[in-house]
Amino acid sequence: MPRYQPARIEPKWQAWWEAHGTFATPRLPPPGAAKAYLLDMFPYPSGDGLHVGHPEGYTATDIVARFERMRGTAVMHPMGFDAFGLPAEEHAIRTGTPPRESTERNIATFRRQLKMLGFSYDWGRELATTDPEYVRWTQWIFLVLFDTWFDPDTQRGRPIAELPIPPAIAAAGEAAVARYRDEHRLAYQSEAPVNWCPALGTVLANEEVIGGVSERGGHPVVRIPLRQWMLRITAYADRLDRELDGLGWPESIKKLQRDWIGRSTGAEVDFFVPPAAGDVTAAFEAWKRQRAESGYPATPADDVLRIYTTRPDTLYGVTCMVVAPEHPLLDRLTTPDQREAIATYREAASRKSDLDRTDLAREKTGVFTGSHVIHPLTGAAVPVWVADYVLASYGTGGIMSVPAHDDRDFEFAKTFGLEVTTVIEPLDGGPVEGLFTGRGRAVASGPYTGLETAAFIERVAADLEAAGLGRPAVNYKLRDWLFSRQRFWGEPFPILHEVDSHDRPTGVVRPVEEAELPVPLPPLTDFKPGDTPDPPLSRAGHEWLFVERDGRRYRRETNTMPQWAGSCWYYLRFLDPANTERFLDPEVEQAWMPVDLYVGGAEHAVLHLLYARFWHKVLHDRGYVSHPEPFGRLVNQGMILGEMEFTGYRAAAGGWISAEQRTEADTPVRLPAEQVEKQGEHFVLRDMPTIRVESRAYKMSKSRGNVVNPDEVVREFGADSLRLYEMFMGPLEATKPWSTAGVGGVRTFLDRCWRLVVDERADDLVLAPQVVDDPASDEQLRELHRMIDKVTRDIEALSFNTAIARMMEFVNFCTPLPRRPRALLEPFVTVLAPFAPHLAEELWEVLGRPAPVSLAPWPTVEERWLRDETVEIPVQVQGKLRGRVVVPADADATALQSAAAADPRIAQLLAGRTIAKVVAVPGRMVNFVLAKSESPS
RNA sequence: GCCGGAGUGGCGGAAUGGCAGACGCGACGGAUUCAAAAUCCGUUGCCCGCAAGGGCGUGUGGGUUCAAGUCCCACCUCCGGCACCA
């Protein structure tokens, strides 16, 4: 009884492929062969094992990989693990198990599950970001960043040794030069405010802080400054933005990245801060004269309040200035009688996380500093306020407030009763009362009155620059990348801090020699965070912590890198995973890069993809990689939701309550599909049709209990069924709900494929008696070649659902055939192979062909079988379908028309009518348009 | 609020401006069977009709076109993301 048993054949072929090295990739593509680098976003090996979302993208790339291999392309298709990360560390804190142990266990689970699904990875290239050899090169790349400065003139990263040293610095000695270099490196240290939660003893990410307290436990969080490693990604902001242009990425993802980078153009303008005593006008005039001579300074002295605006055309509408609570000039601007109010406000602001401060629902707050600055164009005195809606970290940390033409300024002015001065009118129509944020024409703007926004901006920026009062400027929302974490389970920084005889840092930093890499994690038994934001590594033994070099004593950097570090370059290491001499052989890099197809979830649209592009560009600038961009084509697989659910609501008082009337007090109850029916737009209870029921699929989650486990699906249906189902569900990029019945459907299809070839009633595994060596008929060949053609084109377009539908049609065509020619079945099995590789290998063997079908040549489509001799053409009268005629495939418009007119039914409809026009599209359709008022009734 | 994406049978979904609903699930009917499972064959958008046939139909309202799910305008709903960036 040889039925289709995936549990028997799947492990068999997985073992076969492994034993024969079927998917091992050579170091370089063979001469003359095309190459394809097909990459999945490697998973974080969580303790829960694989989720059904993982195999969706993995199957898609695997089908392409197998397809390309069969077409003779050299395929790079690797897999690895993004294994540093928080969950392993928290598990370690709870259980005392070292993170490396649990991580290795989880990787073993993931590896087993991935192999169970028959993906054609070259497992010889497997890597984990936690492998000491991998960490070695991650640290090495950090040292490249440390050794690089960004030359704004050429827009490229260059070796720090090439950084021009200003004469004044050079004259100040070696220490000053070293400091100057440190300030220009792409990896640099700075004091940055972080969210410190004393109760949890850890620093939290912004996302982990809600309403000023920790997400977990609800403990207070304070903002404290901490010395952090930063990466100067902002230097590359412009290139990261512009170089998205040529990429084959979804436009939506490009836009997300552009919005994240947030490039805006406008102008910087200096407002004069008058001296506390003396003649303000005279001082202002003197300042202007001085500026006209010296020009606009790159960094503002403390006699000006510098602001950035995207709308310099609203300069005449400024009614106040607002600075961030952290603004450096705030002390100087605060008058004695306002000192206390300002101090209180600042203190309150410092306690808030960024998240609270940007809560839109909140009323605007602020305090007047008591002082005024002088408007550079009008000479008017403008009051200066402090408010936390202005962010210290963007632009200059201060703004000019134009209530008439900016939402936030308008709201602020309303709250505090400040003046609103209209200086822009819409191009169409007259003045607008109150707020108008659009572009338009300037009014009451001195010499600029009457200019339209664009012209105004251009002129005023040029005038300001000529007068040394401002200049055109570009700003980015993107901030430098805070790169250090106070965590154990991450890559240690290959950095040494010089210490004095009392182990106090001298401020001198020294990179670890390349030959000494990797810097290993120290052995620790206690991973718990402490009472201070000191990283766990600071509790390492002295033998790890302190080292001597050239007679000086150093303490190791005890922060670790964030999880993103490893995923920034893994796609490069896959190409040359065993190289002990360098991170990647340039010959190999040039042969395989860039990645031709990168598939993964949209949750990485910004961070991972932006960080990886940044590192790649630095490596490119420094000559280590040949392409400026790593990922040529990107596709995001859609999310797989849980099964569709029907939810009714039980009223607190008892009985059902209709879904649209429910309140928080009513209890949701999950209903079986039989109790529900559709009525018009909504689902209702079958027994009580007045009660509406919600129908929706939800994201899979443990708490909802709708998580589908791939192990169970494979056990019940087989890996090929899981692969095929996930591809058949719908378009790769769409969000779609899981349906176990649907898995059963594709399993039935695979059963039918099996029976097409195998005799199920025999005792042994033998060919079905219908399988014969007859030549295939013309009709059969047409069916076959059309199927091959469609599947080929659909794989190229990643439209796997329709490719599978076409294969199903082909099987439906073959099943009733009493004689099934091999010439039909063998090409079908090869076409099936990328989708259901185990079944295809087994059928290939039953057909008596030499394994593996996985490397058999992809069948060629013969054009002549795609053409029909006759076609059925729809005939319309007045655009309505009224009949069909069969005509030769090459019939022209005239022939079509006469054939259609000859059809009895059409002739009857046309009898006695005046034909105004006939539209005949050869091979498509015929439409008779009747003269007006003559439409048949 | 802003920015994406999507609205097509009971469900998942097909459809270069040219026969709406391919393919699958479910449902119904038949064959097979002592029976059931499995399998095979068929029907299945809605309404009227015994039928032939006819009418309606791709979120809503308008428009372009011989012809619109597809193009244009306005709106509604759902999903996802961002969110005081001056």
Q: So where are chain A's domains?
A: 23-130+564-637, 187-229, 264-475, 640-700, 712-865, 868-930
Strand nucleotide closest to residue A393 (CA to C1'): B85
Q: Nearest-CA neighbor of A142 among A487, A627, A583?
A: A583
**CB A808 under 7 Å to nucleic chain B:** yes
**C-alpha torsion sign, points A156, A162, A164, A168:** positive
3-class state of residue A557 by DSSP? coil
The CATH number of the structural domain formed by A712-865 is 1.10.730.10
How confident is the model at residue A934, as a pLDDT?
44
Residues 864-883 of A with CB under 7 A from strand B: 872, 874, 876, 878-882
d(Cα A614, Cα A621) in Å, to the nearest integer?
11
Distance in Å, residue A434 CA to nucleotide B59 C1': 37
Residues 191-250 of A with CB under 7 A from strand B: none
Sign of CA dihedral A925, A926, A931, A936: negative
CB of A738 within 7 Å of some strand B atom: no
Secondary structure tally for chain A: helices H, strands E: 29, 38
Instruction: Work out if A258's Cβ lies within 7 angstroms of strand B.
Output: no
A611 is near strand B: CB distance < 7 Å: no
Residue A815, CB, less than 7 Å from strand B?
yes
In strand B, which positions have an atom below 7 A from any protein CB? 3-5, 10-16, 18-20, 22-26, 38-41, 54-55, 66-68, 79-86
What is the model's pLDDT at position A680? Answer: 72
B24 C1' – A374 CA distance, angstroms? 73
pLDDT below 70 — which residues of chain A?
Answer: 1, 200-202, 204-218, 352-362, 429-432, 529-530, 932-937
Q: In this structure, is the CB of residue A770 within 7 Å of any atom belonging to strand B?
A: no
Instruction: Tell if A812 CB is < 7 Å from nucleic strand B.
Output: yes
Q: Which nucleotide is nearest to A639 (CA to C1')?
A: B80
Nucleic strand B under 7 Å from the C-beta of A922: no
Q: Is the CB of A822 under 7 A from strand B?
A: no
0.90 surpassed by complex ipTM: yes
pLDDT at A188: 95
- Backbone CA torsion sign across A174, A177, A183, A184: negative
Strand B lies under 7 A from the Cβ of residue A760? no
pLDDT of residue A430: 66
Q: Which nucleotide lies at the shortest CA–C1' distance from A251?
A: B4
Nearest to A375 by CA among A413, A342, A401, A396: A401
Give me the residues paired with residue A874 across strands.
A884
- CA A252, C1' B81: Å apart? 10
Please report the DSSP string for A176-232 in residue order: HHHHHHHHHBSEEEEEEEEEEETTTTEEE-GGGEETTEETTTT-B-EEEEEEEEEE-
Q: Which of A245, A243, A256, A199 is closest to A222 using CA atoms? A: A199
**Is A929 within 7 A of strand B by CB distance?**
yes
> Which pair of tokens denotes residue A495?
């950095």
Between residue 468 and residue 497 of chain A, the positions with Cβ below 7 Å from nucleic chain B are 475, 477
pLDDT tens digit string along A196-221? 777 766 676 655 665 566 666 667 77
pLDDT for the residue numbered A353: 56
Q: Is the dihedral of CA A821, A822, A826, A827 positive or negative?
A: negative
Phi-psi region of A749 (alpha: psi -120 to 50; beta: other; left: phi over 0): alpha
How is residue A185 written in tokens?
A: 């490196």
Nearest to A137 by CA among A568, A527, A496, A476: A568
Question: What pLDDT does residue A347 have?
Answer: 85
Report helix, strand or coil for A801: helix
Nucleotide nearest to A804 (CA to C1'): B23
CATH of domain A23-130+564-637: 3.40.50.620
Sheet strand arrangement including A546-549: A505-511, A495-499, A552-556, A546-549
Q: Return the pLDDT at A328.
A: 92
A150 vs A129: CA distance, rounded Å? 28
Q: Is the CB of A688 under 7 A from strand B?
A: no
Distance A905 CA to B51 C1' (A): 18
Residues 293-322 of A with CB under 7 A from strand B: 308-311
CA nearest A570: which of A635, A501, A491?
A491
Q: What CATH code would you report for A264-475?
A: 3.90.740.10
**Contact A369/A330 with Cβ under 8 angstroms?**
yes
Q: Give me the sign of the Cα torsion angle A661, A665, A670, A674.
A: negative
CA of A928 to C1' of B61 (A): 29
- Rounded to whole angstroms, the Cα distance separating A143 from A135 reads 12
Count Cβ atoms within 10 A of the Cβ of residue A848 and give its class: 0-12 exposed, 13-18 middle, 19 or more buried: exposed
The Å distance, CA of A809 to C1' of B26, is 20
- Evaluate if the CB of A816 falls below 7 Å from strand B: yes
Question: CA–CA separation, A406 vs A438, rounded Å?
Answer: 9
Given the candidates 3.40.50.150, 3.40.50.300, 1.10.10.10, 3.10.20.590, the CATH classification of the domain at A868-930 is 3.10.20.590
- Output the distance from A820 CA to B48 C1' rounded to whole Å: 45
Residue A216: what residue type? Answer: R
**CA A879 to C1' B62, whole Å:** 21
A256 beta carbon to strand B: under 7 Å: yes
Q: How far is the CA of A360 from the C1' of B1 (A)?
A: 9
> Residue A624: how many CB atoms within 10 A of its CB?
17
A359 contact to strand B (CB, 7 A limit): yes
- The side-by-side arrangement of strands in the sheet containing A634-637 is A74-76, A35-40, A597-601, A634-637
